[in-house]
Structure 1
Amino acid sequence: MNDIPTISWIEAGQSRSARWHSENGAPPPKRVVIADDQMSADSAYRLACEGTALLWRGDFQNARQLLQALARRIDRAPRKPAKIAAPTPSPTEAFHLHRQAQAQRARVLAMLLLPFEQDFRIPLRRAPDVRQACNEAYGAPAGPFVASLRELLGLIGAHEWRKNGVDIPALGQRIHPHYGVFSPVRGEYVGLVADAPLPAMQASLAFDIGTGSGVLAAVLARRGIKDVVATDQDPRALACARDNLARLKLDHQVALLQVDLFPPGRAPLIICNPPWLPARPSSAIEHAIYDPDSRMLRGFLGGLAAHLEPGGEGWLILSDLAEHLGLRPRAELMAMIDAAGLKVLGRIDVKPQHPKVSDASDPLHAARAAELTSLWRLAVA
């Protein structure tokens, strides 16, 4: 019990506490005050910036409006004018500044807290019924707790994604991502796997390393590969993939295995879509985007030769955004491939079409505008 984080505060002159829940593993705030509809947005913003959390006792919808007001104040926060004009940051500096700003924004917005009852009900006026969303993300209730409103809104958004699904043209059906599992909204990488010519000796088996939602395993199965072994080390991802493959009636073709990277044995086709940026994730969902020191990329390349059948191919699906941001030069990637005893048979490129490509206000716009997503066809040298 001592390992369960708790949050403490004073209310009506009495000391109170509750279990603290944070999916990102954030520690409970040390300073907590009670807040309600009488608190102004300016006061709430000042307290949140100072690191004081606000445990909400007012109307739920007013809490949502307050969170939006806090976000507006963060986004328009005045910056101290520089006496000397600062030089334009390099792409790498722009990336790190952007990440720092995102982290600070998240810290401030996470200061608005909500109470939850035993069954995930929120004891506030006009509070929605969030029991299903919480059950999907948290599992069975474990008692009353306190969590941030921002986290709850993420749960609600994930519940809507899971309910409605994401249209995948390559499948002609939808994939339903679960909470904490990356949604395949960037369809260009799915299209690469759907359209790339299968290896000449490809027949009956493929491995999908880091399957996530199961979308690429499903594409391979739909392309006629008799048996697909899809791996992931995240139980949430495997549960999500299992659900999607059953919906698509492909669960008889795809076996799911909880391992880090490769399953036992060899296959004539092995594919992997690792996280694209070598940086540290700040939340569970960011593990699909950020790969510290390119750990998964290095692991896939380093183990590929030992798991490929003679004459087989490894398909690495990778964005070059890290190159445009100065985080991982092309020469470093080529050196990894060479050191792993591999050779490049070919490469298929596609231009991403997501909205940020054309958003000139994005701090990383120049890099995103130049980005290509590629399917690298690799073989044993």
Structure 2
Amino acid sequence: MINWDEGGQSCSAKWHSENGIAPHKKIQIGDDTLTADEAYRLACEGTAILYRGDFQNARQLLQALVRRVDKPSKKSKRADKNTKAESVIKKSLLDTFNLHRLSQSQRARILGMLLIQVNADHTISLRRAPDVTQACLEAYGHQTESYVISLRELLGVISAHEWRKKGVPILARDDEEIRIHPHYGVFSPVRGEYIELVLKAPLPAALKQSSTAFDIGVGSGVLSVVLAAREIDKIVATDLDDRAITCARDNIDRLDLNAYVEILKANLFPEGKAALVICNPPWLPARPSSSLEHAVYDPDSQMLKGFLGGLREHLLPNGEGWLILSDLAEYLGLRTREELLSWIETAGLKVLARLDTKPQHPKAFDRADALHAARAKEITSLWRLAAI
């Protein structure tokens, strides 16, 4: 619960944070008279602001906080100008990555200080508040009491709802555009380069005897849909995350693929063996700071190692394992190519071939991005693996 004083009374409500932030201890009521400078000062000092007033003004206040957080001070500008060349030489990409994550964490902490109270029926009792009932229902399910969340998280819920409605186009087939509809908290398949790799990779010979595949870590269900498009008869997809399972089942049902795709809650592999086993694990071996980051960060490469370690015993004779992986972690100093190859060898596997492609997402071309030096070199690969 989160507690605050308002109008001389003690108040409380359920607290929710996808980032795992504990309920704020210091809370001040804010309204349309609160200036951006004062809100920024309070947020930096660790005081959260529970907003009362006009919802659109609250959004403008959040935008003003963003500008203040992202604007470097004159002192930091001078320091950056004087030491830029030296820092580029001395600072490794790993240092840059760690500093970037720290900076993003601090940024999120400050911007998360602006709070909104949502009623049990997912309505908001502020002037000019949008109808967020369906968006919040999709993200949080049915609630029995009022709850408080950060405005920044709420805007993310609204954005996820819009993506879920319109979907993400993943491929065109028979003059029909196939879309995946990602749910809140499930990684959206916006990076299409790995989808192209799965479409182009030659299918293993074992599929002629047994047209079966496993999709490990199904997420939104995108790879199961692509495998079905490649006319594989039976696909068993697994995940441990309940949101991912619900999302994948929704997409499989939308596309009328239930006869081809079965989705199970399991840790990595289902029982049995398949001619093709595919996995697109989180690409960066680092600790996620929120539940939403589990699709990006894999602590100590646990999922990657688990997939490689169990692949051999789940492959039919002449079967293949397809590992989709970016080498961004290698450029950031988080993992070496030698480590990856040693894990493959230790697992009793060999590399049959590797299909490579360059990412086309906006950050790969954004020179202002803190990690641009690594992103500019990044290659996404589909590793075709087989048992030794």
Amino acid at match of 1:215: V
Contact 1:56 / 1:63 at 8 angstroms: preserved in 2? yes
CA RMSD of aligned residues (A): 1.3
Give the match for residue 320 of structure 1. Answer: 327
Provide the secondary structure at the position in 2 that maps to 1:225: coil
Amino acid at match of 2:255: L
Instruction: Please point out which of 231, 250, 257 is paired with 2:264.
Output: 257
Provide the secondary structure at the position in 2 that maps to 1:63: helix
Deviations along 1:146-166, one digit per CA (max 9) or x if unpaired, are 111011001000000000000
Instruction: Please point out which of 303, 309, 324 is paired with 1:296.
Output: 303
Contact 1:165 / 1:175 at 8 angstroms: preserved in 2? yes
Give the match for residue 3 of structure 1. Answer: none
Greater shift, 12-21 or 229-238, is seen at 12-21
- Give 1:1-381 correspondences, 5 Å limit: 6-78=1-73, 79-80=75-76, 82=79, 85=83, 87-88=87-88, 89-169=91-171, 172-203=177-208, 204-381=211-388
Q: Report the alpha carbon displacement of residue 222 of structure 1 after superposing the two structures with TM.
A: 1.3
Provide the secondary structure at the position in 2 that maps to 1:127: coil
State the alpha-carbon separation in 2 of the partners of residues 82 and 354 from structure 1.
31
Contact 1:170 / 1:191 at 8 angstroms: preserved in 2? no
Contact 2:206 / 2:316 at 8 angstroms: preserved in 1? no
Contact 1:301 / 1:336 at 8 angstroms: preserved in 2? yes
State the alpha-carbon separation in 2 of the partners of residues 298 and 170 from structure 1.
34
Contact 1:170 / 1:194 at 8 angstroms: preserved in 2? no
Structure 2: stretches of 5+ with no match in the other structure:
none
Contact 1:57 / 1:124 at 8 angstroms: preserved in 2? yes
State the alpha-carbon separation in 2 of the partners of residues 60 and 350 from structure 1.
44
Q: Report the alpha carbon displacement of residue 68 of structure 1 after superposing the two structures with TM.
A: 0.3
Provide the secondary structure at the position in 1 that maps to 2:98: helix
TM-score by length of 2: 0.95
Deviations along 1:271-323, one digit per CA (max 9) or x if unpaired, are 00000000111222211111010010000000001111121100000000001
Contact 1:170 / 1:219 at 8 angstroms: preserved in 2? no
Provide the secondary structure at the position in 2 that maps to 1:207: strand
State the alpha-carbon separation in 1 of the partners of residues 292 and 38 from structure 2.
32
Amino acid at match of 1:160: E
Contact 1:245 / 1:251 at 8 angstroms: preserved in 2? yes
Contact 1:305 / 1:340 at 8 angstroms: preserved in 2? yes
State the alpha-carbon separation in 1 of the partners of residues 329 and 20 from structure 2.
27
Contact 1:162 / 1:176 at 8 angstroms: preserved in 2? yes
Q: Report the alpha carbon displacement of residue 119 of structure 1 after superposing the two structures with TM.
A: 0.6
State the alpha-carbon separation in 1 of the partners of residues 286 and 62 from structure 2.
28
State the alpha-carbon separation in 2 of the partners of residues 160 and 82 from structure 1.
42
State the alpha-carbon separation in 1 of the partners of residues 87 and 149 from structure 2.
41
Q: Report the alpha carbon displacement of residue 170 of structure 1 after superposing the two structures with TM.
A: 5.3
Task: Tell me which stretches of 4 or more aligned residues in structure 1 moved more than 3 Å.
Answer: 79-86
Percent sequence identity over matched residues?
65
Provide the secondary structure at the position in 2 that maps to 1:87: helix
State the alpha-carbon separation in 1 of the partners of residues 172 and 335 from structure 2.
30
Amino acid at match of 1:239: T
Provide the secondary structure at the position in 2 that maps to 1:333: helix
State the alpha-carbon separation in 1 of the partners of residues 383 and 179 from structure 2.
26
State the alpha-carbon separation in 1 of the partners of residues 346 and 95 from structure 2.
29
Q: Report the alpha carbon displacement of residue 82 of structure 1 after superposing the two structures with TM.
A: 4.6
What count of residue pairs does the alignment treat as equivalent?
376
